[in-house]
Amino acid sequence: MESPGKIKNISAYLGPEYDIEASFGHVRDIPTPSEMPADMKKGPFGKFGIDVDNGFEPYYVVDPDKKKRVSDLKKLLKNADELYLATDDDREGEAIAWHLYEALQPKVPVKRMVFTEITREAIQRAMANTRQIDENLVEAQETRRILDRLYGYEVSPVLWRKVRAGLSAGRVQSVATRLVVERERERMAFRAASYWDVEADLATDAGESFTARLTAVDGTRVATGRDFGDDGALRGSALHLDQAAAQGIAEALRTAPARVANVADKPYKRRPYAPFITSTLQQEASRKLRLSARETMRIAQRLYEGGYITYMRTDSVMLSETALNAARSQARSMYGAEYVPDAPRRYTSSNASAQEAHEAIRPAGDTFRTPSQVSSQLRGSEYALYDLIWKRTIASQMADAVGSTATVQTEAALADGRVAQLSASGTVITFRGFLAAYEEGRDEEDTRARQAAREAGEEERRLPQLSQGDALDVHRTEASGHETSPPPRYTEATLVKALEQKEIGRPSTYEPTLATIQDRGYVIKQGSALVPSWLAFAVTRLMEEHFGRLVDYDFTASMEDDLDAIARGDAQRVEWLQRFYFGDEATSAEGLRDLVADLGEIDARGISTIDIGDGLVVRVGRYGPYVEEVSPAGVDPSTGEMADDAATTPRRATINDDVAPADLTPEMARALLEVSADDGRSLGTDPATGHEILAKAGRYGPYVTEVLPESDAPASRTRKAAVAKPRTASLFKDMDLGTIDLDTALQLLSLPRIVGAHPETGAEITAQNGRYGPYLKMGTDSRSLETEAQLFDISLEQALAIYAQPKQRGRAAAKPPLKELGNDPVNGKPVVVKDGRFGAYVTDGETNATLRRDDDPETITPERGFELLAEKRAKGPSTRRGAKKTTKKTTKKSAKKTTRKTAAKKSD
């Protein structure tokens, strides 16, 4: 199997006659060309690691860090009677099983064992129902791997030449980036519209009150946010109320007689949600638990390996008969028979190609453990995610929530003869049904949807009993102004939802895609919102204009369908890759090879230029984005007069990463230009020297500096002379370039500050700001300060107190463990979590394993710690930097053995 996390439970189920080992994922892959043997680099595999001219044959090698693992497995096979390949039950797992078979070359019978949950019953069923390796699934996964290699290796170099070195393109990542960029473009083009509305508190003769909203005046509907386009213009013929009109109606309503014009009541019914699939689990965990997709999948992996849930990479919403019975029985016992319908609920996926796994994500076992039953084994995020999965599964088999929705229309005759219509709606749930167990969360960022629901009065609330013609008293009126909201930025949850709706990607690709576009710097997280960088704008524009087919949503979705067809055996790998790479003569569609053939037409400067209006553009440069003032040819931007092009230098200013593209208005851009590195913003004159003080934005951050008179400059550049350098000082982290004043700037320029002299030695103590933060210096003895503000106000007594403390020299004193995880099951040594120089890590005293990005030192489980140590041990000792490398000559015969076997060979 792939992961050591499953070994403990499965060993207990199978007994001592089985040896269970982990491959730690893939053991073979296509190497990069630079890692190939010299003779292979010159052959047909040299460009991609794939022979595109001979059936797209890939060249596989055992990964360097897996050679020891493969060797150990081969030794174990010598004494084995059978080999069971028990990798995950999806395409990726099938490919790993095939690669293990090819690398191990077993002489004993081989059986493919699959299961979607780690329970005793599931493992025993899997042992009794083994099969052969599914060649079609292997072909589909191999096609995906070859496709991704060709896509990346052909398109990425174009980005290196035309945008920036080190960038990457990918079949799914480029499309996901385009989605985020398109949403930001919509926000950039968005123009807010202002509108007003009126609400009133109305009361019956019995004293019962409710709030109603103005919906029409003399039969003309009052405009709400949904009546305005993204350009800010009113669509249709609705009545657009401004402040004066709204306040006038609110004032008139206070004395206007009101009555009930109409009461409508209709039944309300709400069905439960389908059980979780990979995408919906990621979305809901983001909404309710604030987990990223990467964190969600890592936690779900541990729950699966621990035997708590079924396999977590699936796009099927189906539940087995066993699971249906378990969920219905548990719901009946916990909530009552009336909460469970007579027949089981069976769900079907809207995606016709959903087939990655057999079931939805649910609690493992023939009977489900309740959250309270696992609370002693699970903690923190693991418990919260299990609780979420359990509730969703149980609720999926419960009865509908039912009730009624009432809508009340009221009328009020205003003094000027107009009639104001107000309405209120409320939903009363009379039977909660599945809501007793679970209710789906909402995306916080979708302010438009919330605003529309509020304006439509769709909140769940109870209204008093009313009849047509009932008189009403007006107790309170209020006019309030609103602005339309731009399209919400994607979150990880909503981006996964968008990819799923467009049928782009599959369950196994969502989490790595989100991680890739963030790791590459295409997308930055601000809170939970995904904000594209300016770099993403440049990359997306290049892809759209020159590789439009590769980032077309329908084309990308069709590729997934084609891979599904290969997995079913309805299409052939070589024929499909032939059309994708070399083109399709039947449809005259260009192939990938032809698309990248001519790069001369790509205007690198134009691709990396984004117009933000008002004569300003953003350019994506080698060292980051910057704003530039663009003027008509031959016009000096400072005077507006004709000038030589060579003499006209546009003003430029660096853009910080924390400024989102849609938030950079022309006004903000011009403010940046005023304090740019070239010009700077004048703060005034230093009264002590008479020098002008400027605030500037530089490559390494904002700073202040003085302007020296020209007489201080050297007379000749050919002669060495003592040149007076202007004083400069970086702004503190809590200072703002736009608001810093002269006094603060002079304080910064006064550093380093003399604090005083040591009373015993006479050594001068100074307060300074350095690369690693603020500190005190006395001779060669430096001591760190806690805050930058201390540089200005620390006293001599306080400084002496700091120096009175013993200085920590050399290696820092050992810190106590952050957490104890218990004894390692392999060697019995105690395992603890420690905080090291490069972050938290787990150790048993001999082996150290750094925690991954999504591992929380406070909530990490013992099983996760043991798994990290096992992975580190399996990799063996790391190669010492600078050690002499030995290259083993690879003969053509051995190289041929490592190439992929044909389908006929595999079937043997």
pLDDT tens-digit readout, 669-727: 888 887 665 567 788 999 999 999 998 877 667 889 999 887 555 554 444 455 678 99
In tens, the pLDDT along 57-107 reads 999 999 888 999 999 999 999 989 999 999 988 888 999 999 999 999 999
Q: Given pLDDT bands bounded at 50, 70 and 90, which one contains residue 12? A: confident
Half-sphere exposure of 654 (CA within 13 A, CB side): 18
Q: What does the block give as tokens for 202?
A: 């109305």
Residue-level pLDDT at 452: 53
Helix/strand/coil percent split, the chain, to 5: 35, 20, 40
Q: What does the block give as tokens for 900?
A: 């992929």
* C-alpha–C-alpha distance, residues 164 and 166, integer Å: 7
Percent of the chain with pLDDT over 70: 87
Rg (CA), the chain: 34
- Contact at 8 Å (CB) between 799 and 765? yes
Distances (CA, A) of 34 to 45, 49, 900: 11, 10, 20
Q: Given pLDDT bands bounded at 50, 70 and 90, which one contains residue 854? A: low
| Longest pairwise C-alpha distance within the chain | 100
Choose the weakest-confidence range: 135-139, 392-396, 755-759, 849-853: 849-853
Residue-level pLDDT at 895: 43
More confident: 681 or 468 = 468
Strand partners, 420: 217, 412
Choose the weakest-confidence range: 206-220, 447-461, 563-577: 447-461
Q: Would you list the DSSP string of 558-574? A: HHHHHHHHHHHTSS-HH
Choose the weakest-confidence range: 81-95, 507-521, 541-555, 856-870: 856-870
Q: Is the pLDDT of residue 119 over 80?
A: yes
CA dihedral for 899, 904, 907, 908, sign (positive or negative): negative
- Contact at 8 Å (CB) between 696 and 727? no
**b or e along 694-719 (b: 16 or more beta carbons within 10 Å of the residue's beta carbon)?**
bbbbeeeebbbbbebeeeeeeeeeee
Q: Which amino acid is present at 650?
A: P
Q: Which amino acid is present at 335?
A: Y
Between vectors from CA 586 to CA 582 and to CA 591, what angle results, nearest 5°? 20
Q: What does the block give as tokens for 275?
A: 């059980």
For 130-161, give the secondary structure using H, E and C.
CECCCHHHHHHHHHHHHHHHHHHHHHHHHHHH
* C-alpha–C-alpha distance, residues 907 and 722, integer Å: 82
Q: Is the pLDDT of residue 134 over 70?
A: yes
Residue-level pLDDT at 442: 59
More confident: 429 or 630 = 429
Q: Is the pLDDT of residue 641 over 90?
A: no
Choose the weakest-confidence range: 149-153, 659-663, 825-829: 825-829
Residue-level pLDDT at 890: 40
Residue-level pLDDT at 887: 41
Residue-level pLDDT at 722: 55
What is the average pLDDT value for the chain, to the nearest integer?
A: 85
Residue-level pLDDT at 457: 45
Across 339-344, average pLDDT: 94
Q: Given pLDDT bands bounded at 50, 70 and 90, which one contains residue 817? A: confident
Q: Is the pLDDT of residue 631 over 70?
A: no
More confident: 898 or 44 = 44
Q: What does the block give as tokens for 652?
A: 């430029």
* C-alpha–C-alpha distance, residues 180 and 491, integer Å: 9
- The question of whether 311 is a catalytic residue gets the answer yes
Q: What does the block give as tokens for 46?
A: 């040299």
Contacts of 418 (CB under 8 A, 6+ apart): 217, 218
Across 448-465, average pLDDT: 58
- Contact at 8 Å (CB) between 190 and 486? yes
Residue-level pLDDT at 902: 37
* Region at 889 (left for phi over 0; alpha for psi -120 to 50; beta for the rest): beta
Q: Given pLDDT bands bounded at 50, 70 and 90, which one contains residue 827? A: confident
Residue-level pLDDT at 647: 42
10 Å CB burial of residue 27 (0-12, 13-18, 19+) is: buried
DSSP-H helix ranges across 569-680: 573-582, 592-595, 604-607, 666-674
Residue-level pLDDT at 823: 82
* C-alpha–C-alpha distance, residues 217 and 416, integer Å: 12
* C-alpha–C-alpha distance, residues 328 and 344, integer Å: 8
Place of tokens 């977590």: 312
Q: Is 483 helix (H, G, I), strand (E, B) or coil?
A: strand
Residue among 17, 18, 19, 25 at smallest CA distance from 1: 25
Q: What does the block give as tokens for 196?
A: 């007003």
In tens, the pLDDT along 183-204 reads 999 999 999 999 999 999 999 9
Residue-level pLDDT at 142: 94
* C-alpha–C-alpha distance, residues 371 and 800, integer Å: 57
Q: Is 239 helix (H, G, I), strand (E, B) or coil?
A: strand
- Contact at 8 Å (CB) between 20 and 862? no
* C-alpha–C-alpha distance, residues 629 and 641, integer Å: 16
Q: Given pLDDT bands bounded at 50, 70 and 90, which one contains residue 353? A: low
Question: Which of 13, 311, 490, 581 is an active site residue?
Answer: 311
Q: Which of the residue ranges 525-539, 738-752, 816-830, 876-890 has the most confident prediction, judged by mean pLDDT? A: 525-539
More confident: 658 or 579 = 579
- Contact at 8 Å (CB) between 108 and 83? yes
